[in-house]
Amino acid sequence: MINVTAEAKVVLATTLEASDALEGQALRLALSPEGRYGLTIDGEREGDQIVEQEDRAVLLLDQQVATSLDGATLEAVESPDGARLSLRGEEGQ
């Protein structure tokens, strides 16, 4: 299971609120064909790992991504442009 810090959940919730997501949608952490992780807006699918912030789903991971990131941590890191998300502990880091 991926670990998501409280600060990262706030960043996810803020990003979701600023997006054009429909009710019931959340951000999905997905792996691109180039091998990079990115966020997209999507609805819940069977087997998803769901991360919530204040009783609202803010992050979805399919079983394959959740398994590949088992033990990793998604955290918020301050940058000159504000908080950004950083994935720590994934394979290769």
Is residue 42 in some structural domain? Answer: yes
Please give the tally of structural domains in the chain: 1
d(C-alpha 84, C-alpha 44), whole Å:
24
- Specify the pLDDT at position 77: 95
Alpha-carbon span 30 to 39, nearest angstrom: 6
Least confident of 14-18, 39-43, 79-83, 84-88: 79-83
Domain that holds residue 82: 3-88
| Dist CA 72 CA 87 (whole Å) | 7
Whether 93 is covered by a domain: the verdict is no
Q: How far apart are CA 79 and CA 45, in angstroms?
A: 33
Instruction: Specify the amino acid at residue 89.
Output: G
- CATH (domain of 64): 2.60.300.12
**Per-residue pLDDT at 49:** 96
Does residue 47 belong to any structural domain of this protein? Answer: yes
Could you report the per-residue pLDDT of 44-69, keeping only the tens digit for each? 999 999 999 999 999 999 999 999 99
- The whole-angstrom separation of Cα 51 and Cα 75 is 13
